[in-house]
Amino acid sequence: MEFPFDVDALFPERITVLDQHLRPPARRPGTTTPARVDLQQQIMTIVDELGKASAKAQHLPAPITSALRMQSNRHVIYVLKDTSARPAGKGAIIGFLKVGYKKLFVLDDREAHNEVEPLCILDFYIHESVQRHGHGRELFQYMLQVPEIDLKGSSPRSSKRPCSMPHNWSIFLCIPLPGSQLPASMLLLPPPAPKLPLFLQKERVEPHQLAIDRPSPKLLKFLNKHYNLETTVPQVNNFVIFEGFFAHQHQGPRVLTGPAGTIPLPQNPGGA
């Protein structure tokens, strides 16, 4: 998706993480900096256009993602830009993934109601021209924060690495002060965690811990193909959870009552 402003300068990284503040990321040194308010307006335009395109692709009556909705919810959007082509010198956006924690009431396989607050997949869109090119997976993997380090060297990225030390790790040589009894040592440190909005810095999430808001048939196929998510636990709301959801909740879900239907189900708070 192209825009009448320079997307490439607006988003210096391939993936940009935006929260409710829709703050423009720091620009590359040497890039001219328009007024901050203009940059935020550009971000709002991108979010609005992505939301519209996603709604159209899913045949929804109205967008569930917009700048206004972003600003009034604690959701996070991962935006993927096209780093290969720069049509008209302004860059392009490939797609986005929107997530957020939500309090939900879900049924387990014994049909007991559970109050949980999982990370939810709320909206997901890759431009029609580049679907099925692995971009969706790239965004999803980034969101899950699963490092794609293959020490066996079978992936194209890792096969170029000269040694078996994971990409981006740092070596520190610790030399003791004169007179100290301590031996010199080497320290191997992982890269710092990417800067994520505070509320997403909780923990890494496994795919089966996620709840998906009204997944489209394409997304169900995507989840099955890339994450082996197939067997769902039937729900009475729009969210889909998969086998393993309850086994992997970090804090045991709170069981509210017995079999489904014995008490009226509370509404799930908030829409996407």
Let me know how long the chain is. Answer: 272
Whole-number minimum distance, CB 60 to ligand ACO, in Å? 9
For position 57 contacting ligand ACO by CB under 6 A, the verdict is: yes
Q: Which of 43, 76, 99, 126 binds ligand ACO (CB under 6 A)?
A: 126
| Contact map string, positions 172 to 211, toward ligand ACO, x by CB under 6 A | ----------------------------------------
Per the listing, tokens 């924060």 go with 145
Whole-number minimum distance, CB 264 to ligand ACO, in Å? 26
Whole-number minimum distance, CB 122 to ligand ACO, in Å? 6
Give the separation between CA 78 and CA 24, rounded to whole angstroms: 13
135 annotated as a binding-site residue: yes
Encoded amino acid at 251, one letter: Q
Using the minimum distance from each CB to ligand ACO, give the nearer residue, 110 or 225. 225
Question: Where do runs of H (alpha helix) occur along the chain?
Answer: 7-10, 36-57, 67-71, 135-144, 156-159, 217-227
Measured in degrees and rounded to the nearest 5, phi and psi for residue 253 equal -65, 145
Q: 10 Å Cβ neighbour count for 270?
A: 13
User: What residue number has its CB nearest to ligand ACO?
Assistant: 136
Q: Are 255 and 112 in contact (CB under 8 A)?
A: yes
Whole-number minimum distance, CB 130 to ligand ACO, in Å? 7
Contacts of 86 by beta carbon, 8 Å cutoff, 6+ apart:
8, 92
Whole-number minimum distance, CB 194 to ligand ACO, in Å? 20
Whole-number minimum distance, CB 107 to ligand ACO, in Å? 19
Give the separation between CA 36 and CA 42, rounded to whole angstroms: 10
Stretch that binds ligand ACO, among 14-22, 134-142, 147-155, 169-177 (CB under 6 A): 134-142
Helices 135-144/217-227 angle, 10° precision: 70
Residues 58-117 that bind ligand ACO (CB under 6 A): 58
Residues 204-243 that bind ligand ACO (CB under 6 A): 212-216, 218-219, 221-222, 225
Q: Helix, strand or coil for residue 193?
A: coil
Q: 95: burial class by Cβ within 10 Å (0-12, 13-18, 19+)?
A: buried
Encoded amino acid at 162, one letter: P
168 annotated as a binding-site residue: no
Residue stretches of the annotated binding site: 124-137, 216-225
Residues forming contacts to ligand ACO in the complex (CB under 6 A) are: 57-58, 121, 123-126, 131-137, 212-216, 218-219, 221-222, 225
Residue stretches of the annotated binding site for acetyl-CoA: 124-137, 216-225
